[in-house]
Amino acid sequence: MVDYSKWKNIEISDDEDETHPNIDTPSLFRWRHQARIERMEEWKKQLEEHEKKKTAHVKKENEVKAKISEAEKAGSSDLEVLKLQLIELEKKWKELEAEEEEIKKKEKLTPWNVDTISQPGFAKTVINKKPTKPKEENLSEEEREKRMKKFIKENEKDLKHFGMLRKYDDSRQFLKQHQNLVCEDTANYLVIWCINLEMEEKHELMEHVAHQTICMQYILELAKQLDYDPRACVDAFFTKIQVAEPEYKKSFEDELEQFKQRIRKRAAEKIEEAVKEMEEEEKKNRLGPGGLDPVEVFETLPDELKKCFESQDVQLLQDTIDKMDVNEAKYHIKRCVDSGLWVPDAHKKTSDEAGDAGASTAEDEPEKTAESQKAES
């Protein structure tokens, strides 16, 4: 059954014909119409101001909640004061809700008039269509890596800008202006950046970028659940997180904390891997001709042999080897040669070089004697 009651109370003055004979009817209609327009403008302004109050309240409440979270971690003495502020804000929110109900009630009771009745029902035709997510490409690991490198090269400045943003509204606006960033490659880039920042011991900056990383991952997860294009989920996520219920907010904070722990663990692993690589490279560079590490070989030598190498006393080394068991001496000497601690024939080569120099001196000597004899004669 059709409800016609809404048509019983309509404020239409422009077509009334019962006016006083001494009153100029057109002027009266114009005055009534102008007064009605002014009331409508005032009503519209009241609605806008109420929406601004709500937005400012939500923003302030989120800021206080963030401060409470930081104070709890730091054990700050301001915690109680902040909690009282939050209680006051919650009371204020209830007042705003009551005010909104009153506004809606007044709006419902406001009579229709010629201006509201004549408004078009549709300014444009809108066809609801589910925003489907892009088709996944069947790419190999090498192709994916190549694509990501290209993506980073083209967008690194914007990626870093998004990672440094702090306010939800700024992040929302930036992603809506740069919709190409709403993708898996952005999340991967931010994860890698977080690991690098932690390795560089920039812990606070890492934690900040980690927050932006989880925001991006939540958008992508929301798109996956709804089977939507991630770009169509930006507004939905930021609206939800700004007016989030305690359970949703706690879930977000827990996921963020777990992510930061994983980043710290991975950064520590990468540092350990880098140290091992450096040690292996140093070891490789100092290997002797037989492939043994001189440091390791030296550590396994008997104390008496260690003293010989430390003092670099060749005679002491020979005396020590003579006193040792033959097999044991051969074992240690071979390891010393293979590691480069002992260079065979080094003394002989030195002696040979000295002998060559002496021979040339002896050969030159007779010539010098003959010349001197000639000079004397």
Q: Say what the pLDDT of residue 346 is.
A: 52
Q: Which two tokens stand for residue 226?
A: 């709804």
What is the average per-residue pLDDT within 78-87?
82
- The Cα–Cα gap between 31 and 25 comes to 10
Among 72-86, 273-287, 344-358, where is mean pLDDT lowest?
Answer: 344-358
- List Cα–Cα distances, 43 to 48, 99, 119, 306, in angstroms: 9, 14, 17, 97
Q: Which two tokens stand for residue 209?
A: 């970028």
pLDDT confidence band for 160 (50 / 70 / 90): very high
Please provide the DSSP assignment of 300-358 as one string: HS-HHHHHHHHHT-HHHHHHHHHHS-HHHHHHHHHHHHHHTSS-TTHHHHHHHHHHHHH
Please provide the DSSP assignment of 177-243 as one string: H-GGGSSHHHHHHHHHHHHHHHHTT-HHHHHHHHHHHHHHHHHHHHHHHHTB-GGGGHHHHHHHHHT
Among 33-37, 196-200, 307-311, where is mean pLDDT lowest?
Answer: 33-37
Provide the residue ranges of all domains of the chain, joining segments of one domain with +.
7-115, 141-283, 294-376
Q: Is the pLDDT of residue 134 over 80?
A: no
Q: Say what the pLDDT of residue 302 is.
A: 85
Q: Is the pLDDT of residue 232 over 70?
A: yes
Amino acid identity for residue 128 in this structure: N
Q: Is the pLDDT of residue 209 over 90?
A: yes
Nearest to 235 by CA among 156, 166, 188, 179: 179
What is the average per-residue pLDDT within 266-285?
85
Q: Is the pLDDT of residue 159 over 90?
A: yes
Among 161-165, 175-179, 246-250, where is mean pLDDT lowest?
Answer: 246-250
What is the average per-residue pLDDT within 25-31?
58
Q: Say what the pLDDT of residue 133 is.
A: 52
Across the chain, mean pLDDT equals: 76
Q: Say what the pLDDT of residue 371 is.
A: 38
- The Cα–Cα gap between 366 and 368 comes to 5
Q: Say what the pLDDT of residue 264 is.
A: 93
Amino acid identity for residue 234 in this structure: V
Q: Say what the pLDDT of residue 115 is.
A: 52
Region of residue 291 (left: phi > 0; alpha: psi -120 to 50; beta: else):
left
Express each pLDDT in 323-340 by its tens digit: 888 888 888 888 888 877
- The Cα–Cα gap between 6 and 117 comes to 12
161-176 CB burial, b ≥16 within 10 A, e <16: ebbebeebeebbeebe
Q: Is the pLDDT of residue 56 over 80?
A: yes
Cβ–Cβ under 8 Å, residues 341 and 317? no
Q: Are strands 112-113 and 10-11 parallel, antiparallel or unpaired?
A: parallel
Q: What are the residues facing 112 on neighbouring strands?
A: 10
What is the average per-residue pLDDT within 293-310?
82
Nearest to 190 by CA among 228, 226, 164: 164
For residue 6, what is the DSSP state? G
Percent of the chain with pLDDT over 70: 73
Q: Say what the pLDDT of residue 306 is.
A: 81
Q: Which CATH number fits domain 141-283: 2.40.50.140, 3.40.50.300, 1.20.58.610, 3.30.1490.20?
A: 1.20.58.610
Q: Is the pLDDT of residue 113 over 50?
A: yes
How many CA atoms within 13 Å lie on the side-chain side of 220? Answer: 15
What is the average per-residue pLDDT within 10-27?
50
pLDDT confidence band for 312 (50 / 70 / 90): confident
More confident residue, 105 or 61: 61
